[in-house]
Amino acid sequence: MSKIFETPLYPYTRHADQDAATPARHKVIVIGAGPIGLSAAIDLANQGVQVLVLDDNDKVSFGSRAICFAKRQLEILDRIGSADPFVEKGIEWDVGKVFFDDRQVYDFDLLAEDGHRRPAFINLQQYHFEKFLVDRVRDLQDQGAPIEIRGQSKVEAIGQHDDHVTLEVETPEGSYTLEADWLIACDGANSPTRRMLGLDFVGRVFEDNFLIADVVMDADFPTERWFWFDPPFNRGQSALLHKQPDNVWRIDLQLGWDIDKEEEKKPENVIPRLKAMLGDDVKFDLEWVSIYTFQCRRMEQFRHGRTLFAGDSAHQVSPFGARGANSGMQDTDNLVWKLKLVIDGKAPEGLLDSYNVERIHGADENITNSTRSTDFITPKSDMSRVLRDAVLDLSENYEFARPLVNSGRLSVPCTYDGSPLNSADALAGPAISRPGSACPDAPLPDGFLLDHLGDRFVLMTIDADASDRFVEEGVEVTRLALSVRDDPTLALQRRYLGDAPSGVYLIRPDQHVAARRETFDETQFRTALRRATGKE
């Protein structure tokens, strides 16, 4: 296991840019080689955009960190390459169980409906996730794609200009200057980019601390998410148990606010807590220990001129609900196709303002859900705790109470309701596929729907006639013709038509719905395309 942490994946080598007489200019520079930065870079390179990734490290992250990746993020991975190695290595799970004191009060299934290629969630340590993304970068480089990672390259200063950004980069052999047409900051919650530009977060920091322990052990617990309120082994607090690959288990234990963090992280204090939970007879080894504090905060704006922020550098939420890395990948999924159109001159620069609008909407949705989870998990008054405990008691026998239990509302795709890129809904179809929503998957005779959408504008017709192709102001739309007769599961009809006899969908390159109607009207869809590319 330690070799993953210790082996440089993108070691420092001197580059010709360091000896250039004038600063080299790059189309896009990404700061940060974590899951978000690498996903953004891969997406750009797939579409032929030259991209350079800078990171002050040269290895994967130490410790499991983000471990829980939702179905939507796996679908994004399929779009930018393949989710297969992630799913093959990861631990699939759909079922969660909630305990109160020493008894189970209920369980839930996150993917009760068939007809999806990917599972509801996988658990996979962040170091594996990053390694697979670096492997994808190497594959793209072998294919001649314009992508590069430079390790041990720390950005020390940033200058904003009307048409570019300048960066001062520190290396083991001294510093040099680069220029970028566009800069994407994916450098984490403590973002140096944010600090260098004099920007900050707004939001809440919660007065509580949680211990994270990655434990290596052979155990016969099922591959489910187990969450405890007020368990006997951690009275008055909460606990979480998740299985990861390689016999690694993630354990979260609530500790309270007034603690000595360094003292609590010492093995002689961690191990007794784990034995109280697991039992004295369970043999385990500690792999990684950390302590975190809940924060639900975001930047006021994610775009600042030619610099765009994504992932934890733009927003932070509590880890319960798996909304951190998952929302970060939705950031880049939203951003890259827009940046590509702007770079190619096929959309106005103002299209990037819709990234700000849509992903702030997503961040606020995550912060709202994360804040509610935190308030339920850590009641702030005696009365709040009495009400919380009453809900938990009722949930054991009464179904109506179960939706009120909040052990972390788990990550789901964000629907961009109210986005300026949406056209008015002109189909009396299912809400799950309304304009602004991420396309739900469905089985087809030759695979699954999302595999056919790719990263381009698509006109999806279901039992409807339409043009096979049209171009509007340089942006091409190609048709995907489908019929409900091709899907014996009827998932296509349930998710896209409802009671309507036919449907026509304009789908964005990030596989979100821009417009839908019952039949094809070329004028209407040309207008919808202009709106979806920021021209209306």
Q: Does residue 445 share a domain with residue 355?
A: no
Q: How far apart are CA 289 and CA 266, in angstroms?
A: 9
User: Which of 365, 394, 416 is where one domain is finished?
Assistant: 365
Task: Decide if 39 is inside a domain.
Answer: yes
Q: Does residue 319 share a domain with residue 463?
A: no
Task: Decide if 20 is inside a domain.
Answer: yes
Q: Does residue 442 share a domain with residue 333?
A: no
Each residue's pLDDT, cut to its tens digit, for the chain (536 residues) gives 446 777 889 999 999 999 999 999 999 999 999 999 999 999 999 999 999 999 999 998 877 678 888 899 999 999 999 999 999 999 998 888 999 999 999 898 876 678 889 988 899 999 999 999 999 999 999 999 999 999 999 999 999 999 999 999 999 999 999 999 999 999 998 999 999 999 998 887 776 888 999 999 988 888 888 999 999 999 999 999 999 999 999 999 999 888 898 999 999 999 999 999 999 888 999 999 998 877 788 999 999 999 999 999 999 887 665 666 788 999 999 999 999 999 999 999 999 999 999 999 999 988 888 778 878 888 888 899 999 999 999 999 999 999 888 877 666 789 999 999 999 999 999 999 999 999 999 999 989 999 999 999 999 999 999 999 999 999 999 999 999 998 888 999 999 999 999 999 999 999 999 999 999 999 999 999 999 999 98
Q: At what angle do helices 324-343 and 35-46 cross, to 10 degrees?
A: 30
Q: How far apart are CA 407 and CA 304, in angstroms?
A: 35
Q: How far apart are CA 256 and CA 279, in angstroms?
A: 23
pTM: 0.94
Q: Does residue 493 share a domain with residue 360?
A: no
- Residue 400 in tokens: 């109506």
| CATH number of the domain within which 491 lies | 3.40.30.120
pLDDT score of 1: 46
Q: How far apart are CA 130 and CA 77, in angstroms?
A: 12
Q: Does residue 196 share a domain with residue 74?
A: yes
pLDDT score of 272: 95
DSSP assignment string, 249-316: EEEEEEEESS--HHHHTSHHHHHHHHHHHH-TT---EEEEEEEEEEEEEEES-SEETTEEE-GGGTEE
Q: Residue 144: which domain range? A: 2-91+121-201+298-365
Q: Does residue 350 share a domain with residue 448?
A: no
Element (H, E) at 76: helix 71-80
Closest CA to 372 of 334, 301, 328, 321: 321
Task: Decide if 470 is inside a domain.
Answer: yes
Q: Does residue 151 share a domain with residue 51?
A: yes
DSSP assignment string, 418-446: T-TTPPPPBS---GGGSTTSBPPP-EETT
* CA 111 to each of CA 95, 244, 409: distance values in angstroms, whole numbers, following the listed order: 8, 19, 14
Q: What is the DSSP letter of 410?
A: P
Task: Decide if 317 is inside a domain.
Answer: yes
| CATH number of the domain within which 69 lies | 3.50.50.60
User: Which of 365, 385, 402 is where one domain is finished?
Assistant: 365
Task: Decide if 219 is inside a domain.
Answer: no
Across the strands, what pairs with 239? 228, 253
- Residue 501 in tokens: 């006899």
Q: Where are the alpha helices (DSSP H) in 122-217?
A: 126-142, 192-196
pLDDT score of 323: 65
b vs e for 279-311, b when ≥16 Cβ sit within 10 Å of the residue's Cβ? eeeeebeebbbeeeebbbbbbeebbbebbbbbb
Q: Does residue 448 share a domain with residue 351?
A: no
- Residue 64 in tokens: 């499991």
- CA 498 to chain centroid, in Å, comes to 29
Q: Does residue 150 share a domain with residue 9?
A: yes
Counting the structural domains of the chain, the total is: 2
Task: Decide if 116 is inside a domain.
Answer: no
Q: Does residue 192 share a domain with residue 337?
A: yes
Q: Does residue 35 share a domain with residue 128?
A: yes
Task: Decide if 215 is inside a domain.
Answer: no
Q: Does residue 302 share a domain with residue 195?
A: yes
User: Which of 309, 342, 365 is where one domain is finished?
Assistant: 365
Task: Decide if 373 is inside a domain.
Answer: no
